[in-house]
């Protein structure tokens, strides 16, 4: 056990050194020389203070992200190696008879341990964001969200873990396939209720108050053949200065949502471009493509977890204090594998997402035919979130679900140049 703990600490330390070196010294983040002075150059739309803060904040945020991800795995590994997972299993067995109650008791204590260990890191992230004026949320509001997160995640996990371990015990060889089959209606159900049940736990949503703007957005939706009746806004200014808009939900609960920070900071034509971008996602059915991709990855992931967990327990089960994946004590191992596989798949899912975002950008510029508004909206997004215009390669690979601001502006410039060439030829 001491060797494993020493190895885990050393590995985590070396990983942290590499991350620090890459973010602060190794990965170049300045834009290429040929784009200096263009509309994609942050020097043309950010002042010197914004440029300095953007670099500082982006590096800090990226460093904390890459450090935090394996930190949670490290906590779970310690729960296994110290025998704490086995002891919590025995304790839950001694005070409850039904499997669901046993699982819930075990999961509560595991969730509490992880939350307590991760909370200081989350607090640091919050304070960093607050110091750079990205977050505007009060400490009380932040703590309230942490409590809501804990209970929402615990209740969902209690249901999922109970079903998962019941399947593992009853269908040892095919549990992963049955679990995946059951995940399809459950995932669709969650996506259906999220806009009306889960999201309102954190923020207030209401129809867009600016009716004149709503009419223009709905006219744009009609032009795109989208049957929309309302656009929603959400009071994110209580929590952040960043800008955003998104499409959420499926079926009759699907919504186009605008953050009120976006409404307050952007001009009308910039908002219309962003709305056209979200409509592009709807028209090209990116939500359903995303669901299909998620389900395929879930199938591959569950199969991999079945094989990997069996191999780990077979070879190192005595060190991890677990005998079989049927035990609830094996849950930390399964969570480590889920986390590692998710992290490893991020480059793939982000690549697909960036392709969809580019497609939505192209759709929006065709729908609005307003390049200036498109470019200025991207510039404002970068300034409001203090995001890097041209991040290092690995940062983009693992963290960017959207094309970089440099890429998005260059796409629009190229499209505009091509359209002007076609017009001149005609």
Q: Which residue pairs from 50-57 have beta carbons closer than 8 angstroms and sit at least 24 positions apart in sequence? A: 50/383, 50/386, 53/132, 53/386, 54/382, 54/383, 54/386, 54/387, 54/388, 55/29, 55/388, 56/132, 57/128, 57/132, 57/134, 57/386
Distance CA 387, CA 242 (A): 10
Identify each DSSP E strand in 143-185 by its residue range. Answer: none
- Beta-carbon contacts of 239 under 8 Å, excluding residues fewer than 6 positions away, are 135, 136, 137, 141, 203
Instruction: Indicate if the alpha-carbon torsion angle 377, 382, 383, 385 is positive or negative.
Output: positive
What is the pLDDT, as a whole number, of residue 348?
A: 94
CA 343 to mean position of chain CA atoms: 11
Residue position matching structure tokens 């796409």: 411
Q: What is the 3-state secondary structure (H, E, C) of 63-80?
A: HHHHHHHHHHHHHHHHHH
Number of helices (H), then strands (E), belonging to the chain: the values are 14, 4
Distance CA 213, CA 211 (A): 5
CA distances from 4 to 14, 15, 82, 177 (A): 15, 16, 11, 32
Domain ranges of the chain: 2-203+285-425
Residue 255, H or E segment? strand 255-259
Tell me if 423 is assigned to a ligand binding site: no
Distance CA 250, CA 192 (A): 5
Tell me if 281 is assigned to a ligand binding site: yes
Q: Phi and psi for 258 in degrees, rounded to 5?
A: -115, 130
Assign 197 to helix, strand or coil. Answer: helix
Distance CA 218, CA 210 (A): 12
- Beta-carbon contacts of 26 under 8 Å, excluding residues fewer than 6 positions away, are 392
Q: Which two tokens stand for residue 341?
A: 């596989």
CA distances from 44 to 71, 132, 301 (A): 39, 21, 45
pLDDT in tens, the chain (426 residues): 778 888 888 999 999 999 999 999 876 667 888 888 888 889 899 988 988 999 899 999 999 999 999 999 999 999 999 999 999 999 998 887 788 899 999 999 999 999 999 999 999 999 999 999 999 999 999 999 999 999 999 999 999 999 999 999 999 889 999 999 998 898 888 888 887 788 888 888 888 888 888 888 888 888 877 766 678 888 888 889 888 888 777 766 677 788 999 998 999 999 999 989 988 888 888 888 888 898 999 999 999 999 999 999 999 999 999 999 999 999 999 999 999 999 999 999 999 999 999 999 999 998 888 889 999 999 999 998 888 899 999 999 999 999 999 999 998 888 877 877 777 776
Confirm if 256 and 195 have CB atoms less than 8 A apart. Answer: no
Residue 234, H or E segment? strand 232-234
Tell me if 390 is assigned to a ligand binding site: no
* Rg (alpha carbons) of the chain, rounded to whole number: 24
- Beta-carbon contacts of 162 under 8 Å, excluding residues fewer than 6 positions away, are 99, 100, 103, 104
Q: What pTM was estimated for this model as a whole? A: 0.88
What is the pLDDT, as a whole number, of residue 25?
A: 86
- Residues with a known catalytic role: 278, 361
The DSSP result for 304-358, as a single string, is HHHHHHHHHHHHHHHHHT-S-TTSGGGHHHHHHHHHHHHHHHHHHHHHHHHHHHH
225: left (phi over 0), alpha (psi -120 to 50) or beta: left
Confirm if 205 and 232 have CB atoms less than 8 A apart. Answer: yes
Q: Which residue pairs from 335-340 have beta carbons closer than 8 angstroms and sit at least 24 positions apart in sequence? A: 335/76, 336/73, 336/76, 336/77, 337/304, 337/305, 337/308, 337/309, 338/301, 338/305, 339/69, 339/72, 339/73, 340/73
């Amino acid at each position: 056990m001491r060797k494993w703990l020493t190895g885990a600490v050393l590995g985590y330390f070396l990983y942290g050194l590499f991350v620090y070196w890459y973010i602060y010294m190794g990965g170049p983040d300045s834009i290429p020389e040929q784009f200096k002075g263009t509309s994609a150059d942050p020097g043309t739309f950010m002042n010197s203070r914004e440029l300095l803060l953007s670099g500082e904040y982006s590096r800090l945020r990226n460093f904390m992200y890459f450090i935090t991800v394996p930190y949670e795995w490290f906590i779970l590994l310690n729960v296994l190696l110290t025998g704490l997972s086995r002891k919590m299993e025995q304790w839950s067995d001694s005070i409850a008879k039904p499997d669901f109650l046993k699982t819930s008791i075990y999961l509560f204590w595991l969730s509490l341990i992880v939350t307590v260990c991760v909370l200081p890191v989350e607090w640091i992230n919050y304070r960093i964001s607050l110091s750079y004026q990205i977050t505007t949320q009060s400490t009380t509001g932040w703590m309230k969200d942490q409590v809501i997160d804990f209970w929402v995640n615990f209740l969902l996990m209690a249901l999922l873990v109970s079903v998962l371990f019941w399947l593992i015990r009853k269908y040892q060889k095919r549990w992963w396939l049955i679990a995946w089959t059951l995940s399809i209606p459950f995932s669709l159900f969650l996506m259906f209720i999220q806009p009306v049940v889960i999201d309102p736990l954190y923020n207030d949503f209401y129809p867009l108050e600016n009716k004149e703007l709503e009419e223009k957005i709905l006219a744009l939706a009609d032009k795109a053949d989208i049957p929309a009746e309302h656009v929603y806004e959400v009071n994110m200014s209580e929590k952040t200065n960043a800008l955003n808009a998104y499409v959420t939900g499926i079926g009759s609960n699907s919504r186009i949502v605008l953050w009120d920070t976006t409404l307050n900071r952007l001009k009308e034509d910039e908002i219309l471009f962003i709305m056209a971008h979200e409509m592009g996602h709807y028209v090209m059915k990116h939500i359903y493509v995303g669901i299909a991709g998620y389900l395929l990855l879930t199938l591959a992931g569950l199969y991999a977890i079945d094989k990997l967990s069996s191999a780990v327990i077979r070879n190192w089960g005595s060190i991890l204090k677990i005998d079989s994946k049927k035990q609830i004590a094996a849950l930390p191992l399964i969570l480590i594998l889920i986390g590692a596989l998710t992290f490893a798949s991020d480059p793939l899912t982000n690549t697909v997402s960036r392709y969809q975002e580019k497609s939505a950008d192209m759709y929006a510029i065709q729908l609005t035919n307003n390049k200036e508004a498109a470019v200025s909206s991207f510039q404002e997004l970068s300034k409001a979130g203090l995001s890097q215009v041209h991040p290092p390669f690995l940062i983009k690979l693992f963290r960017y679900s959207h094309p970089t601001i440099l890429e998005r502006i260059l796409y629009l410039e190229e499209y505009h140049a091509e359209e002007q060439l076609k017009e001149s030829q005609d």
